[in-house]
Amino acid sequence: EAQVTQNPRYLITVTGKKLTVTCSQNMNHEYMSWYRQDPGLGLRQIYYSMNVEVTDKGDVPEGYKVSRKEKRNFPLILESPSPNQTSLYFCASSFHGQYPGELFFGEGSRLTVL
Amino acid sequence: QKEVEQNSGPLSVPEGAIASLNCTYSDRGSQSFFWYRQYSGKSPELIMFIYSNGDKEDGRFTAQLNKASQYVSLLIRDSQPSDSATYLCAVKGSGGFKTIFGAGTRLFVKA
């Protein structure tokens, strides 16, 4: 089954404790992206990657890191989480350079930073 | 000005009516336009995409695109209570690398 898998789905952590949210896709997509969703603000892009070892900042990259060492995986790293990073996070993937390039989303990871 | 703007709603329509959702975008070079549906607590799922001016129909859904006016809309005919969700307009920009989302319109279909 074609899917984007995120882990963990739910996480409560404390300020400053490093965490990683994993994302894996099995569709051989070149493009992967992380979004955060907050009430009234919609989906905002954090980072994206157009292929292995190619990443770029989205609109709200502060406080986050990513890496793309393998095509299928695109982990999101919070080195020192803060309460303003409490949010619902979505990983998404798509084929790059092909129309229409719709995004396939993971189920989401709800993060609470205390 | 936000890159992709939607009326946040909520939009309330009776069952069987037509729901009309609207979206404007700022990047004139935008290439592809999408409508995603998101149920509460779930991930967005694609309903339709459009990239040519005019209308595109798929079942009860019709997407309309007017690039000159930088306007995209989604019509839902014969609205059902199961259509109650947040509808996200998304635009793939001129660089082809980023998909920008609007904040979404909440739709309620009353039985």
pLDDT tens string B31-68: 889 999 999 989 999 999 998 999 999 999 999 999 99
Residue A67 has which token pair?
């890496």
Whether chain A has a CB inside 8 Å of the CB on B108: the answer is no
Higher pLDDT, B106 or A95: B106
Locus of tokens 């990513």: A66
Contact call for B96 and A105, based on CB within 8 A: no
pLDDT band of residue B1 (cuts 50, 70, 90) is: low
Contact call for B96 and A97, based on CB within 8 A: yes
Backbone angles phi, psi at B83, to 5 degrees: -80, -10
Q: Which residues of chain A have pLDDT under 70?
A: 97-100
What per-residue confidence (pLDDT) applies to A24? 98
Contact call for B92 and A100, based on CB within 8 A: yes
Locus of tokens 């309309």: B64
What per-residue confidence (pLDDT) applies to B8? 80
Nearest chain B Cα to A110, which residue?
A: B41
- Torsion angle of C-alpha atoms B82, A101, B11, B56, degrees rounded to 10: -80
Q: Residue B76 forms beta bridges with which residues?
A: B19, B61
What per-residue confidence (pLDDT) applies to A39? 87
Note the pLDDT tens digit of each residue in B70-102.
999 999 999 999 999 999 999 987 776 788 999
Contact call for B99 and A33, based on CB within 8 A: yes
What per-residue confidence (pLDDT) applies to A100? 64
Of residues B85, B19, B99, the one with CA closest to residue A96 = B99
- Torsion angle of C-alpha atoms A79, A85, A86, A87, degrees rounded to 10: -110
> SS3 of B26, please?
coil
Q: Residue B78 forms beta bridges with which residues?
A: none
